Amino acid sequence: MVLKKLFKGAKGGGRSEAVEDDGEPTIEDLIVLERYGEAEARLKAALKQSPDDLHHHLKLADVYTALGRREDAADAYVFVADEYGRDGFYDKGIALLARALKMTPGEERLRKKLWALEVAKGLEYKREAATDGLRLSRFEDGRSGTKVLLIQREWHHLAPSPLMQRLSADQIRRFFSAVEMVRVPAGTPLAERGSANAFLLVILSGIVEAVLPRAGGAETSLRLFTTGDVVGEAATLERGTWPADYRVGAEEEATLLRLDRAGVQHALTGNPDPRGFLDNLRMDGNDRQMAEMVAKLESKT
């Protein structure tokens, strides 16, 4: 019996919206009437026709919940949560995973999925902060749109770096508003050993090589730096000097985020945690490590 018959039809004698055109009850009717077996069969048939219909997957989860089939309900919620996560709807995905985890609290797999989605949400929030910072850049060169597209394309490489992990979204916004994004051809020198040129570089893409010049034009390669690495913090933040020669790798150009002292001051203006910002920039200590390496090499000659 359909809802129209049960409730004596709609007002004014019109057709009840809860009844299909052929007189059959809708899936929603079946759920209201607690005819869960029929609702399950209808939902599965519909999903055979449209496997990606998230609404039907959620309805099926509700039916499984009503039937006490908690594991089946959790699986349906996880399917939808995964789809939401892939589409960037992190909050919806997290809510569904939390619901699934309540149903199956011992599922370590779900805890890992929930953690991964929360991390992805945080990284996306930071990516938005980075693009906001570029739009507010102190460098008015008319290319903010191009730079935003570039950082969006490269963000999945930069985001896992220790620096981006340490900086909060607000500090990332400040950092990107203060840096100059530059593309540098392969093989280009960036800094000379002993110079006090006050700028640091964060590598967005490409390779930067640190080398120790030797007598007679020879040199010793010390280390290759890549995406997310910070160099130049000694000269910029500690009034030191560059510990080695730095240049772009010979194979490809590099895209660098250049922060000079004016940029540092820009990022610190109104900053609620200026010391934390500076500590995060110097924490990797790459210049210190290069200086120690150079000192050891020179002590052997």
Find the CATH number of the domain harbouring 78: 1.25.40
Token pair recorded at residue 179: 């840096």
Strands 245-248 and 189-191: antiparallel
Cβ pair 273, 210 in contact under 8 A: no
Cβ pair 233, 200 in contact under 8 A: yes
Query: What residues contact 161, with CB distance under 8 A and at least 6 apart?
Result: 227, 228, 229
pLDDT value for 1: 39
Residues 230 and 175: their CA atoms lie apart, in Å, by 13
Single residue among 74, 106, 138 that ends a domain in this structure: 106
Residues 229 and 136: their CA atoms lie apart, in Å, by 23
Is there a domain that residue 116 lies in?
no
pLDDT value for 299: 85
pLDDT value for 216: 77
Is there a domain that residue 164 lies in?
no
Q: Which residues pair with 224 in a beta bridge?
A: 209
pLDDT value for 217: 77
CATH of the domain at 182: 2.60.120.10
H/E segment holding residue 79 = helix 70-86
Below-50 pLDDT ranges, the chain: 1-19
Single residue among 90, 106, 122 that ends a domain in this structure: 106
Is there a domain that residue 231 lies in?
yes
Is there a domain that residue 150 lies in?
no
102 lies in the same domain as 179: no
Domain of 92, in residue numbers: 18-106
Residues 85 and 80: their CA atoms lie apart, in Å, by 9
Instruction: Read off the DSSP letter of residue 217.
Output: G
pLDDT value for 21: 52
Phi and psi at residue 68, to the nearest 5°: 80, 15
Is there a domain that residue 137 lies in?
no
pLDDT value for 12: 36
Strands 199-205 and 254-260: antiparallel
198 lies in the same domain as 285: yes
pLDDT value for 260: 95
Is there a domain that residue 119 lies in?
no
Q: Which residues pair with 248 in a beta bridge?
A: 208
Is there a domain that residue 155 lies in?
no
Number of domains in the chain: 2
> Residues 71-104, buried b or exposed e (16+ Cβ, 10 A)?
ebbbbbbbbbbebbbeeebbebbbebbebbbebb
Is there a domain that residue 167 lies in?
no
181 lies in the same domain as 93: no
H/E segment holding residue 172 = helix 169-178
Rounded to two decimals, the pTM is 0.69
Single residue among 85, 106, 127 that ends a domain in this structure: 106
